[in-house]
Amino acid sequence: MAREMLRQGGRSARIQEAVHRTVKELLAQMDRSEITVPMIAEKAGVPPSTIYRRWGDLSDLLADVALERLRPIADPEDTGAMGSDIETFIVDYAEEMSSDVGRGMYSDILGSSSDSAARCCHYTIHHLETLRQRAEGRGEPGFEVDAAMDKIVAPIVYHILFQDKAVTPDYCRALVSDFLGGKG
Amino acid sequence: MAREMLRQGGRSARIQEAVHRTVKELLAQMDRSEITVPMIAEKAGVPPSTIYRRWGDLSDLLADVALERLRPIADPEDTGAMGSDIETFIVDYAEEMSSDVGRGMYSDILGSSSDSAARCCHYTIHHLETLRQRAEGRGEPGFEVDAAMDKIVAPIVYHILFQDKAVTPDYCRALVSDFLGGKG
């Protein structure tokens, strides 16, 4: 009776929550290559068929969990000026994403055939758009978000992924300074 | 007797060749998620233990095959001038790597824990270095290879991987032109 009273949306949300939480716990305990759908299903208390029906396969589920972790929960910090807003956002982003956890999220997002990679980009574009609007609201000249993606975000993500060069705060600041200087 | 006469290097090279060829054949026939080490071993005629000993795991083997395909076999085309050399190289690179085969190679290279990602970068750096030296040999001003990686290669690879934007020849040419214009 109690079960029948649960609305579909409520049950659906609870399954999502249980499965996501289980994946995060497993990722903290073992290498992702050891994780399987039956293992997640057993620990989360849902049938494996529910996971396959809802998420497709393991790579799509891992991508969904990674994307959920990356979903913006707050606007980037307001430091009072466009240059320092962009710098703070970018240095924090690079620090988070070059950690083992960050690299694992990229790997999950890029390993999936779903549209999670493009959605991940759009989170970053959304944040930069917030910074652009804030700058223009202050009477600052603003900047092109697409150009910031190409000239600041892309090289940082490239070097994090390919591990050919350390992505230091100084490197990030030089990219921002080069980008803003090039606009003057 | 014949077997005993084979040098270690010869046998080792033949195993590598058979395993790589088998992986390429399987990749052409099925999705990479369906490929297993025992499947490769049986088709290549080597024991699975040989593959594990030599390559670690499946992801490292797939990365090794992808890297072998990306290994430079010739210098980039000589078009007679630095700008068109870079443009031709970059447009071809983007076209190849945004294909399904190219995206699969990135996925294999980034999915491995080996150093294949950094080695993949170095192939591109090597080609750009060839173009830089060729330009200077012609008396042209040359360019900074690191800057070309950040300003041309990184955004192209970013958009191929994250699929947020089509990487067209025009987009590539604009990046090259912006990079070279910025030096003037």
Pairwise CA distance, residues A153 & A121, whole Å: 10
- The interface predicted TM-score of the complex, written ipTM, equals 0.86
Pairwise CA distance, residues A82 & A140, whole Å: 7
Pairwise CA distance, residues B65 & B12, whole Å: 15
Give the per-residue pLDDT at B6: 47
Give the per-residue pLDDT at B37: 94
CB contact under 8 A, A158 and B163: no
Percent of chain A beyond pLDDT 70?
93
**B154: which 2 tokens?**
């990184």
Say if residue B92 is exposed, middle or buried (CB neighbours under 10 Å; 0-12, 13-18, 19+). middle
Give the per-residue pLDDT at A128: 97
Of A57, A111, A162, the CB nearest to B118: A162
Alpha-carbon torsion (A108, A111, A117, A121), positive or negative: positive
Alpha helices in A30-115 (DSSP H): 37-44, 48-55, 58-70, 82-97, 100-110
CB contact under 8 A, B162 and A107: no
Q: Tens-digit pLDDT profile for chain B (184 aa)?
A: 344 444 556 788 899 999 999 999 999 999 888 899 999 999 999 999 999 999 988 989 999 999 988 888 889 999 999 999 999 999 999 999 999 889 888 988 988 877 888 999 999 999 999 999 999 999 999 999 999 999 999 999 999 999 999 999 999 999 999 999 955 3
B73-77 CB contacts, 8 Å cutoff, 24+ apart: B75/B127, B75/B130, B76/B127, B76/B130, B76/B131
Give the per-residue pLDDT at A112: 82
Pairwise CA distance, residues B153 & B109, whole Å: 17
Give the per-residue pLDDT at B112: 82
Give the per-residue pLDDT at B183: 52
Give the per-residue pLDDT at B184: 38
Alpha-carbon torsion (A150, A153, A157, A163), positive or negative: positive
Give the per-residue pLDDT at A9: 66
Our CA-based measurement puts residue B6 at a distance from the nearest CA of chain A, in whole angstroms, of 37
List the single residue in B with minimal CA-CA distance to A109: B162
Give the per-residue pLDDT at B38: 94
Q: Which residue ranges form the domains of chain B, and what is each CATH number?
A: 2-55 (1.10.10.60), 73-181 (1.10.357.10)
In the 8-state DSSP scheme, what is residue A57?
A: S
Low-confidence ranges of chain A (pLDDT < 50): 1-6, 184
Contact A88, A39 (CB under 8 A): no
